Structure 1
Amino acid sequence: MAPGTGTSADGGDDVRSRDLARLAGVSVRTLRHYHQIGVLPEPPRSANGYRSYAASDLIRVLRVRRLTDLGMPLSRIDPLMDIDAELALLDDDYARQIEHLRRRREAIRALRQRDTPVDTPAFAREYLAVVGGRRELPTPSVEIERDAALLLESILDPASISRLTALRQDEIERLADVSAALLDLDEDASREHLDTVVDALVSVLRQVTPLLLASRPTPDVARSFDVYVDDQLPPVQRETVRRAVRRLRD
């Protein structure tokens, strides 16, 4: 290359591209990408074969850069597009993202305030807080309930989870009463007490079973829940659950 000429082995294209890139605050590679995808039309070439960029090309690159800085994908940028409509769509998208992040922050705040394990499903937080407050229940029993809620979250569909999340406080207290009664059972429980717990479980299962059926769990998923119950509950509690299920099916 001759000193001071500004030309290069590719015929001077890089120099002109570099000038435009410098003014627009982008890279030469970005300019070439704009050409490839059609965001910036190829400029006409001068008599010596160099691309000849005009002021309008600089304005277009500045506009494209402004739109991409706002987050608009290059694939949506077109000279004929309705910019106001596109910006409205972009604004709506950001509003949804902000709302999504707001809900995440609320969930994190709730977990931190209550010192709740991070894997606790949102729909079960109030319920587990009530169960955890029962002095008669040891920590392992509360953990069993938490793990069961995590399994349920993987089984239930969004509509069923929303219904559980919307349970009233008195309904949550009722569920906690039944769970506490079941988890507190031992081999010394009387027949009458066992029957009372079975009756209470049947009532709860009548409330929960429609949610499970609506979610249409696969046989493997349903079986995994049954296996978990069998593995975690002591014999007297396991048999009590089975009696309630048989009663419900009869």
Structure 2
Amino acid sequence: MRIGELAALLRVSTRTVRYYHQQGILPEPPRLANGYREYGMRDAIALARVRRLVELGLSLEEARDVIADDRSRELSDILVEIDADLARQEHEIQLRRRRLAEVLKQAEAGSLGPDDTSSPDLLAFLRTVELPASKAAAWDRDLLVLMDSMATSGDRKQAFAMFDALAADPAMAARGHDFYRRLDALADASPDDPQVGPLAEALADYSVVHLLAGSGPPDWDSAAVEPFLDGLAPAQAEVVRQAMRIMARR
């Protein structure tokens, strides 16, 4: 297959594939007599591996080392490893979605209370702060409920202060609405759209300064977010991933 077919198969742009070639991450096949490069199954698997490793938080340099090691391995061994990874993801997704369904059902019924399932402070915040009518805002609301349900008591105390500050400051709410607008604008964009990185940086900066109050990221399992990113467009999901990785490094 040609580079465009490879990119389409993995839902990336040809620019992304070429960038990985330039960085020495993805091996570039030699040109044939007709001038084209032909990609095969091992190339597709290598590209899928790069994308997965980046999603897990590895740097491109670290991903390059893994892909380099893969070149000396049997293709069947790599496929078995990928299958095991998918099985783990499937199990985690099933558990988290069952948990989320329970929490959202309680939230919709207004029956959540101080039982360590979700806080009344969060529900009060969601009623007080009027979120814009957008897909990104609706996703954020559901995620807030999920993350609150998974937080430790110490994290929840910090979150209460955050909710109070957001509800009391119209400027913060307006800034949040602007982020939702920028996320919605990426609904039809690709994950490597040039707007993704700056928006992720802005979200991370805003969260560290205004929401985390200099105390560092809460002790949440960031992987818990991953199963719910399929509710967003690819570029929107990439913004969330990058923003969380940036915050984790600070």
> TM-score category by the smaller chain?
0.3 to 0.5
Larger radius of gyration: 1
Give the TM-score normalised by the residue count of structure 2: 0.40
